[in-house]
Amino acid sequence: MYVLRLVLKNALRHKLRTALTIVGIVVAITAFGLLRTVIDAWYAGANASSSARLVTRNAVSLVFSLPLTYVQKIRQVDGVTAVSWANWFGGVYVSERNFFPQFAIDPPTYLEIYPEFVLSPEERKAFLTDRQGAIVGRKLAEQYGWKVGDQIPLRGTIFPGTWTFNLRGIYDGASKTTAESQMFFHWDLLNESLKKRFPRRADQTGVLISRLKDPDQAAAVSQAIDAMFKNSLAETLTETENAFQLGFVSMSEAILLAIQAVSFVVIVIIMAVMANTMAMTARERGAEYATLKALGFGGGFVALLIFGESLLIALTGGVVGVLLTFPVANGFREALGTFFPIFYVSEETLAMQLVAALIVGVVAAVFPAWRAARLRVVDGLRAIA
The pLDDT tens digits for 248-291 are 777 677 788 888 899 899 999 999 989 888 888 878 777 777 77
Nearest CA to 311 out of 356, 276, 377, 360 is that of: 360
pLDDT at 378: 64
Partners of 135 in the β-ladder: 169, 184
pLDDT at 321: 95
3-state secondary structure of 122: helix
pLDDT at 253: 74
User: Is the separation of the CB atoms in 53 and 209 below 8 Å?
Assistant: yes
3-state secondary structure of 104: strand
Kindly provide the residue ranges of all beta strands, DSSP E only, lying in 157-288, ordered along the sequence.
161-173, 183-186, 204-205, 207-212, 236-240
3-state secondary structure of 19: helix
Question: Is pTM, for the whole model, over 0.75?
Answer: yes
* 376 to 192, 298, 366: CA distances (angstroms): 90, 11, 18
| Residues of the chain predicted below pLDDT 50 | 385
How many Å apart are CA 303 and CA 310, to the nearest integer? 11
How many Å apart are CA 285 and CA 277, to the nearest integer? 13
Partners of 150 in the β-ladder: none
pLDDT at 1: 65
How many Å apart are CA 121 and CA 143, to the nearest integer? 24
Please return the burial class of 360, using the count of CB atoms within 10 Å of its CB with bins 0-12, 13-18 and 19+.
buried
Nearest CA to 312 out of 7, 1, 6 is that of: 7
Taken in order 110, 111, 116, 118, the sign of the CA dihedral is positive
